Structure 1
Amino acid sequence: MEGSDTRYVNVRAHLQSGHVIPAHPLALTPRREMDERHQRALTRYYVAAGAGGMAVGVHTTGFPIHDAKIGLYRPVLELAAETADATLAASPRPFVRVAGLIGDTAQALREAQTALALGYHCGLLSLGAWRDATDAAILAHCQRVAEVIPLFGFYLQPAVGGRRLGYRFWREFAEIANVVAIKVAPFDRYATLDVVRALADAGRDDIALYTGNDDAIVPDLVTDVPVTSGGRAYTRHFVGGLLGQWAVWTRSAVQMLDEIKAWRTIGSDAVPRAWLTRGAALTMANAVIFDAANNYTGCLPGILDILRAQGLVRGTWTFDTHEQLSPGQAEMLARLPVLYPSLTDDAYVAEHRDDWLR
């Protein structure tokens, strides 16, 4: 950082060092209007918990805010940026702001320009509007947006709006100079390794790998993937995560990633079995939060219900009135702190919540 300007971040270096980046939810009132007080509290929570950044305007925030009729894209991004700046002012540190970008090229460019004007450092480019397009058309779209804002690539699973993007796509995507990171979230091991291999083959060790695989967070973070580039054999690994799962229990997520990074610094070959056990527990908890049994129907309400129980939001409302907790999901969510107490940060939130809600 330069002085106390919390907006300045060496984006590539910061992302390469590995961080917890929560996908920022949207707090609404019962009338489905933005709840500014609780929205600010969420941002303060993520900063205080030690997150290395936040992603706003992404799926967890709710794609309806991108609709011009709702008109909340700029207000939501602006509120998060202002709140993060104010919170960081007392103790400045690098904190990356990732803006969700969607739609056709014209819309994505407009959103990129808005994000840049608000101090966002890179754009997480959703390709949901390009499900039927050719790879060549998608790559041209990505290149055009990258001319305006650094790209945080995004491999989204088909079940929630993504499409299959094979090795050849990611090999060509890696040729885009202004790509700083990729969120790999296909929920598929073969597809995940395609991205890692493509970056190595392109010689792009400067593109940070972030897991978005909420069903395999710990395995991604502790696995060294064997790759070759220019005849050199070496390994690559996921340095951090940009995750909807990390929108909850964020303090515990930061502590876990810090432990893993410390283990990597020591250089031990043995992966502690306790981490693998914790990883399995985290996947089982995520299955409930994301409502995997019902094809992720209750995903956003599930995230919001954890935050509601902690007092950080008032309810589980989203802009889609049909988006609700699935039958039995609320009961299963209430049991998670009992089943997996080491994953939660309830005590930490309870200690600081009133200050965040000021």
Structure 2
Amino acid sequence: MADGLFAPGTVVPAHPLALDESGGIDWVSQRALTRYYLDAGAHGLAVGVHTTQFALHEDPALLADVWAAAAEDASAAERPVGLIAGVRGTASTARIEAGVAGGLGYQAALLSPAPGSTDDDILRMAESVGEVLPVIGFYMQDDVGGRYLGVDFWRALFAQPAVIGVKIAAFDRYRTGEVVRALLESGRDDIALLTGNDDSIVGDLATTYRGDVDGVQQSASFVGGLLGQWAIGTRAAVELSARVVDARNSGTVPSELLTQGTWITEINSAVFDTQHGFAGCVAGVNEVLRQQGLVRTSLCLDPVERLSPGQQEAIAEARRRYPELLDEAFVAENLERWRS
């Protein structure tokens, strides 16, 4: 399943949620975003994930409507588009969500456990959801609600046959290495590594991990990324990801690609609001899209999630400095059509 859903260089935007000034869904903008990602060449869409706002899961009917809208547009594309549903909460609630998403054509579920979940809770969640849809594990950084998940946890998760991938968004090289080590030890070559480390996207994609497992050299590489960062500059992301993976496979990664990686990290610092401990990360993605005209507001369902002081200006400066990496011309040329 992983091979069919995740080809080398895979770019999966974490789909935002577009709200109007009253806080309701702005369906014109929501569909415009999906059309942007499809025209940009995204290989899949992740809907109902952190960037779509976890608060959306408090309204199951609305969540289903958002899933359905993205699935409808994806089904009209002239190429295969993978659909990944973010499922949230306990083992039972996530299983119900996975059933709804599967009925709408989603092919896998990205796990977002309930706050305070133990390792065993998450493993039960994975097992329960895995009876409905293939499972993608999620290592979320501490600043936005994640926590440390040790090697033993990843060994146990990778032992579940329904697991086809893992999104590593720990924003920590040590923790990233531990997940890869557990994967190498698992002996499985059908689990896709997806970077969610927005601070090291190119570094992840450019790296081949190798290690000795019982006297045998094993290797693993990130097949692509599932990222909130790829919800902006998606066309540039598709082009860059393909170039990095090709360079990695050739054995020579040009320094110019690594330099571009530092530019993306600089953009991410403004968008994800590192100056304020990532407080404005979801609103920041929305703000880029608002400034570009794709959505009408940067509002979030949870009023606590908002832009931080100075973040709007920092995003505008990032757009000025790196227009190619943020698809400025591409968006301007197609905006009217996507919103029609």
TM class by shorter-chain length?
Answer: over 0.9
1:275 aligns with 2:275: no
Aligned to 2:243, which of 254, 259, 276?
259
Deviation at 1:352, TM superposition (A): 1.2
From 35, 47, 50, the counterpart of 1:44: 35
Aligned to 1:60, which of 39, 51, 63?
A: 51
Equivalence for 1:188: 172
Taking structure 2 as the reference length, the TM-score comes to 0.96
| Offset of residue 270 of structure 1 | 2.8
Which residue is 2:184 aligned to? Answer: 200
Partner of 2:333: 351
Deviations 1:216-255 (A, max 9, x none): 1010010111123453213211110000000001000001
2:148 to 150, 153, 164: 164
Deviations 1:301-352 (A, max 9, x none): 1111111111110110111223221111111111112222342211011111
Asked whether the 8 Å contact 2:14–2:51 carries over to 1, the reply is: yes
Closer, same or farther in 2 for the Cα pair 1:324/1:35, shift >3 Å?
Answer: same
Q: Where does residue 309 of structure 2 map in the other structure?
A: 327
Q: How far apart, in 2, do the equivalents of 1:136 and 1:64 lie?
A: 24
Q: Displacement, 1:272?
A: 0.8
After superposition, the C-alpha distances for 1:162-212 in whole angstroms (9 at most, x for unaligned) are 111011110111101011111001111010011111011010111010000
Residue in 1 that maps onto 2:99? 113
Matched position secondary structure for 1:60: helix
Contact 1:57 1:99 in 2 (8 A): yes
Write the letter of the residue equivalent to 1:206: D
Identify if the C-alpha distance between structure 1 residues 355 and 261 changes in structure 2 by more than 3 Å, giving closer, same or farther.
same
The count of residues paired between Structure 1 and Structure 2 equals: 340
Contact 2:136 2:163 in 1 (8 A): yes
Give yes or no for contact 1:202–1:229 (8 Å, CA) kept in 2. no
The answer to whether the 8 Å contact 1:101/1:112 transfers is yes
Corresponding letter in the other structure for 2:85: A
Amino acid at match of 1:66: H
Q: Does 1:221 align with 2:211?
A: no
User: What residue is the counterpart of 1:232 in the other structure?
Assistant: 216
- Contact 2:12 2:227 survives alignment (8 Å): yes
Q: Match of 1:126, SS?
A: strand
Change (3 A) 1:23 1:132: closer
2:24 aligns to what? 33
The secondary structure found in structure 2 opposite 1:181 is strand
Contact 2:184 2:218 (C-alpha < 8 Å) held by counterparts: no
Range with bigger deviation, 113-122 or 77-86: 77-86
Secondary structure of the residue aligned to 2:293 is coil
Secondary structure at the counterpart of residue 261 of structure 2: helix
CA RMSD of aligned residues (A): 1.4
- The whole-number CA distance in structure 2 between the counterparts of 1:101 and 1:65 is 11
- Asked if the contact 1:16–1:206 (Cα under 8 Å) also holds between the matched residues in 2, the reply is no
Matched letter for residue 58 of structure 1: V
- Does structure 2 conserve the Cα–Cα contact (< 8 Å) formed by 1:12 and 1:206? yes
Kept after mapping to 1: 8 A contact 2:283/2:298: yes
The answer for the alignment partner of 1:20 in structure 2 is 11
Structure 2 matches for 1:140-155, cutoff 5 A? 140-155=124-139
C-alpha distance in 2 between matches for 1:76 and 1:132: 26
**Contact map agreement 1:97 1:121 (CA 8 A) in 2:** yes
Q: Secondary structure at the match of 1:101?
A: strand
